[in-house]
Structure 1
Amino acid sequence: MTLPKSILRVALATGLLLLIPLLAMQFTQEVVWTFSDFVFAGVLLFGTGTAYVLIARKWNNTTYKLAVGVGVAAGLLLVWANAAVGLVGSEDNPANLLYLGVPVVALTGAIMARFRPLGMSNAMFAASLTYVAITAIALFVWTPTGAAAEPQVHSVNVLVANGVFAAIWAVSGWLFRRASATGSTLHQQVA
């Protein structure tokens, strides 16, 4: 499939996904999205889909494509959850801003590796370790004071939830490692 067709599919999928909250708003008071919520979600979904399309087409290997999907989904879930409810306490906790470093580590590592499977594996494992380190810092080192202090945050719940997120990055790293072992070939396709 050509690149423009792939991007058009991403745009259509983004539009269809945004119809879900739009329709839900017509039938329930539980869903209350503002225009900026739709813009944020649209940019996030379209950007994630486009990133997948651009990266996955670099190598001709199913495991590589799956690894890209898991890594991109990990980034999407991290940003979405952090913006919606926060990963440590509420979304107002300033420690949540630290988590933006995780996708930065993953993307920087991927670019430095030129999207090669072994380098991508290292980048995803680095993102996973960064995630764990940020969680430890947010819970045990940097404790917000004043209005941002949240004594009701249960460390076990935060550790389990963040452990799951870190594991998703690690799974992506493991899949990239498998893709490198199976001998991926560079996919030279001109759009």
Structure 2
Amino acid sequence: MKQTFTDLLRERAEERRALLGCALWMFLETFAGIMRENITNIIMQNKNIIYLALGTASILLLPLLAMLFTDQMVWDLIDFIVAGALIFGTGLAYELVAKKGGTMAYRVAVGIALAAAFLLVWMNLAVGIIGSEDNPVNLMYFGVLAIGILGATMARFRPQGMARTLITTALAQALVPVIALIINKPQVTSVEASMGVLGVLGLNAFFVMMFIGSALLFRRSRIRL
């Protein structure tokens, strides 16, 4: 490279052409090559995150189109921001956590747990599970998620610790409607304000089963990790 550079300078000097323009051209070409290589490396290393961002944007186009062509959905800017953060955050969490395990059982367990958390937050923010979305009793569900996040962090996402965390999360999920009936029975049992006691219990049972299913998969993946 040194010899090539020297020959190029000698050639331009013999042709009495300005060396400053040559140096500037070589600098720009080298800089462009370095930037192109770095951008390519960044894209290759983070392609899943880029795909996730594009997927999130594509999903958010659906309610936007619905707002443009129908009157059945009305979202404001905050709704789009919250929905985008929830979708992208769930996908990013899966990308960061699932790769810690080397088995399919571990990855499926992470997926089920995150899907349950996603649905729990989405339903709570959209319409509420117990009564309407304005019912303060629904805030207990965020406590359920806090237990799961804290337990997963303390377990460092190891299968055995994750299994215990998901069992605890399932227990907390099951206790929410019981506590709600004790402290706020009129709003829980009101047909106008909620889906009724059986509906609330059935929906909570669905989330409990998801958390337990995830815990069982984590226990199964413990042997193979």
Q: Distance in 2 between matches of 1:150 and 1:92?
A: 16
Higher relative contact order (CA 8 A, sep 6+): 1
Residues 102, 2 of structure 1: alpha-carbon distance in 2 compared, 3 angstrom cutoff: farther
Residue equivalent to 1:188: none
For structure 1, which segment, 149-158 or 103-112, has the greater mean C-alpha deviation from structure 2 after superposition?
A: 149-158
Residue equivalent to 2:24: none
In terms of fraction of residues, the more helix-rich structure is 2
| TM-aligned CA deviation for residue 21 of structure 1 | 0.7
Q: Does 1:99 align with 2:141?
A: yes
CA offsets per residue over residues 146-170 of structure 1, 9 Å max, x none?
Answer: xx68622410111111111111111
> Do the aligned partners of 2:130 and 2:188 also contact (CA within 8 Å) in 1?
no
Q: 2:105 aligns with which of 32, 54, 63?
A: 63
Q: 1:151 aligns with which of 190, 193, 197?
A: 190
Residues 160, 3 of structure 1: alpha-carbon distance in 2 compared, 3 angstrom cutoff: farther
CA RMSD of aligned residues (A): 1.7
Q: 2:72 aligns with which of 30, 44, 61?
A: 30
- Paired letter, 1:31: M
- Aligned pairs for 1:83-94 within 5 A: 83-94=125-136
> Do the aligned partners of 1:94 and 1:144 also contact (CA within 8 Å) in 2?
no
> Do the aligned partners of 1:143 and 1:149 also contact (CA within 8 Å) in 2?
yes
Task: Give the match's secondary structure for 1:59.
Answer: coil
Q: Distance in 2 between matches of 1:110 and 1:137?
A: 24
Residue equivalent to 1:189: none
Q: Distance in 2 between matches of 1:128 and 1:2?
A: 38
Residue equivalent to 1:178: 220
For structure 1, which segment, 151-160 or 39-48, has the greater mean C-alpha deviation from structure 2 after superposition?
A: 151-160
Pair member with larger Rg:
2
Q: TM-score, normalised by structure 2?
A: 0.76
Q: Distance in 2 between matches of 1:55 and 1:149?
A: 36
> Do the aligned partners of 2:170 and 2:208 also contact (CA within 8 Å) in 1?
yes
Q: Distance in 2 between matches of 1:2 and 1:175?
A: 31
Q: TM-score, normalised by structure 1?
A: 0.88
CA offsets per residue over residues 74-111 of structure 1, 9 Å max, x none?
Answer: 11101000000111111111100011011111111111
Q: 1:48 aligns with which of 90, 93, 110?
A: 90
Residues 110, 40 of structure 1: alpha-carbon distance in 2 compared, 3 angstrom cutoff: same
How many aligned residue pairs are there? 180
Please, which runs of 5 or more residues in structure 2 have no aligned partner?
1-42
Residues 108, 34 of structure 1: alpha-carbon distance in 2 compared, 3 angstrom cutoff: same
| TM-aligned CA deviation for residue 141 of structure 1 | 1.3
Q: Percent identity?
A: 43
Please, which runs of 5 or more residues in structure 1 have no aligned partner?
185-191
> Do the aligned partners of 2:49 and 2:92 also contact (CA within 8 Å) in 1?
yes
- Paired letter, 2:86: L
> Do the aligned partners of 2:189 and 2:197 also contact (CA within 8 Å) in 1?
no
Residue equivalent to 1:124: 166
CA offsets per residue over residues 117-158 of structure 1, 9 Å max, x none?
Answer: 1111111111111100112111x211177xx68622410111
| TM-aligned CA deviation for residue 28 of structure 1 | 1.3
> Do the aligned partners of 1:93 and 1:149 also contact (CA within 8 Å) in 2?
no
